[in-house]
Amino acid sequence: MDTVQTPELQTLDTKLNSLSEILQVLDQDGGVIVHNMLSPQVVINLRKELAPASEDASVGSQSDNKNVNDFWGQQTKRFTRLAQRSQTFADEVLIHPTLIGIADALLKPSCASYWMNTGQMMIIMPGSTPQSMHRDADDWPGMCSPEAPLCQFSCMFALSDFTTKNGATRVVPGSHAWSDYSRQATDDEITQAVMPVGSGMIFLGNTLHSAGANKTVDEARYGMDLSYVLGWLTPEEAGCLSVTEDRAKTFTKQQQQLLGYRCYDASDLNGGRLWTVDYEDVPVGLHW
Helix (H), strand (E), coil (C) string for 237-254: CCHHHHCCHHHHCCCCHH
Give the chain's domain count: 1
Largest pairwise CA distance in the chain? 72
Tell me the pLDDT band of 2, cut-offs 50, 70 and 90.
very low
- CATH code of residue 117: 2.60.120.620
> Is residue 287 one of the residues assigned to a domain?
no
pLDDT at 5: 63
Question: Could you tell me what percent of the chain has a pLDDT over 70?
Answer: 97
Q: Is the pLDDT confidence value at 19 over 60? A: yes
> Is residue 78 one of the residues assigned to a domain?
yes
Q: Is the pLDDT confidence value at 32 over 70? A: yes
> Is residue 19 one of the residues assigned to a domain?
yes
Count CA within 13 A, CB hemisphere, residue 151.
Answer: 22
pTM for this model (two decimals): 0.95
> Is residue 186 one of the residues assigned to a domain?
yes
- Looking at every residue in the chain, the average pLDDT score rounds to 95
Burial class for 67, CB neighbours closer than 10 Å (0-12, 13-18, 19+): exposed
pLDDT at 75: 86
> Is residue 253 one of the residues assigned to a domain?
no
> Is residue 6 one of the residues assigned to a domain?
no
Kindly report, residue by residue over 46-94, the tens digit of the pLDDT: 999 999 999 999 998 888 887 777 677 788 999 999 999 999 999 999 9
> Is residue 123 one of the residues assigned to a domain?
yes
Mean pLDDT value of segment 102-115: 98
Mean pLDDT value of segment 184-200: 97
Domain span including residue 138: 11-237
